[in-house]
A and B are shown apart, each in its own frame.
Chain A
């Protein structure tokens, strides 16, 4: 039971980060390796803001505000920086674009180490403020039980609504399908790309912010997270939003069951799932087959 709840909570985080990654890929066709450092920076920023605000008064609203505010701020700033950088390399080889994000990732890793040091950060005010609840005889923290999965589902529904019902969202979908035709129809693809990048970056750092109260922040979490969320995105199929939700749940649950049954294999589990999925369906579970271009 504990494993189940742990898994759902973990899956919520994983989904948020993977969603950002897959969303950006869908429109810009770039796998943003620096997404891992967005996650890390989001976490650090939220923790710092939480510490800073915690001195004034420790209400739940303030802590939550710190979490979300930190995430959004980091997302907007770093998302813009990355977008401007990548725009310089728009027409280059895709491999080189991938390398540019890799370079950016290295820069961010060091910057983050310079700003926040190598000591682990741990801010858990929010968790305590939300209290605990008992479920089938197991005491569980409300934060992990309700808030994180709730946030993930809310983001998912919001994004679906945005993509299907609003003009901007539909433009994004159009660009995802075919950039050339969309541009011919009068859509400003540049603006769409910018917006997507910022939204995707915000999702990544939101994941980090939500993770910060329950995990300690140490250098290197960015690298772990980018690989993990890539595992989710690749298993689901690049650009698949609903698929990412299902696979995140799958990997989250498998991982937390692993923690209880075979702790040695915990870290390897997500990759095993990814490898199995890719062996059977090389394009990912939920991808619609695409014609190869000659």
Chain B
């Protein structure tokens, strides 16, 4: 609990401080927090020892739902859009989850990848409805009202930043509660030995399904917020590279604590901003190489350092 409060306070101070000092950083900060939300979804699965290479599809689903609704019903409030987008991802996660939780490790990861590829190709094929691949010609998302208040661009961004931050803090608190609950602890036990878990009378499938739906919802929330802040959704939101980025952030942050994903996401976003200037053509290369280096030296991520320190202090808490 103590770490949750420290983490939450530090995160809000850093985000709000940076946004106040450098107003042009607002959008990157929003995007970083969105990435953090999605990466937290991956972290949930990571705790169960599973990895998904296709979770960007949930962000993509939510993004498209938001875009559609905002075009069809221009007067819908921003909160309603976010809620409905996330709900769509949750429902998709429930359905797809019921199928994929029967598989573990490689099958689990690759099935998710396959499904996200199907979604990506379909979105690209039916470009008449979806805007197709190509970056510039996706679906536009209008700027909605927030709780009935109409805002100009700058004010909207500030409001969105606060909204994303509040969402993130609530999610950190909630997910950390989940990790500490009996279901969350059992999910962790799945990683070490699933068989024993079943002997204890706990259904591993059901447990993983819960985790999967949670992670799909988190990615959906991230996608809905992402779509709103960008004002544009494209099929690239569901490309495997995006899923790879989520996995990267999750590994960087580590699965020790829910704050880790957000710290990882902030680091990642700034790394990306500088790398885009320095080595524009070799972004994937840098990402892949860093991933391997992290796995080699820091297999439990940044939050793994925290746990090491806690162990060194004599296991208080």
Contact = CB atoms under 8 A, between A and B. Distances in A.
Interface string A99-116: 110111111011101100
- Interface core residue of A224, A271, A274 (most chain B CB under 10 Å): A271
A106 B299 contact: no
A274 B122 CA distance: 17
B287 A267 contact: no
A230 B110 contact: yes
A105 B193 CA distance: 30
Contact of A227 (B99, B105, B113, B296): B113
Nearest to A292: B195
A221 B251 CA distance: 26
Contact of B284 (A99, A109, A274): A109
B292 A113 contact: no
Contacts of B113: 227, 230
Contact of B299 (A93, A105, A223, A234): A93
A264 B125 CA distance: 8
B244 interface: yes
Contacts of A223: 117, 240
A98 B285 contact: no
A14 interface: no
Nearest to B282: A110
A100 B292 contact: yes
Interface of B: 46, 49-51, 53, 99, 102-103, 105-107, 109-111, 113-115, 117-118, 121-122, 125, 193, 195-196, 240, 244, 247, 251, 281-285, 287-289, 291-292, 295-296, 299
The 9 closest A-B pairs by CB, nearest first: A106-B288, A110-B285, A103-B291, A107-B288, A103-B288, A110-B284, A103-B292, A31-B106, A106-B284
22 contacts: A88-B296, A89-B295, A95-B105, A96-B299, A98-B106, A99-B295, A100-B292, A103-B289, A104-B292, A110-B283, A223-B117, A227-B117, A230-B113, A231-B114, A234-B107, A234-B110, A234-B111, A264-B125, A267-B121, A271-B115, A271-B118, A278-B103
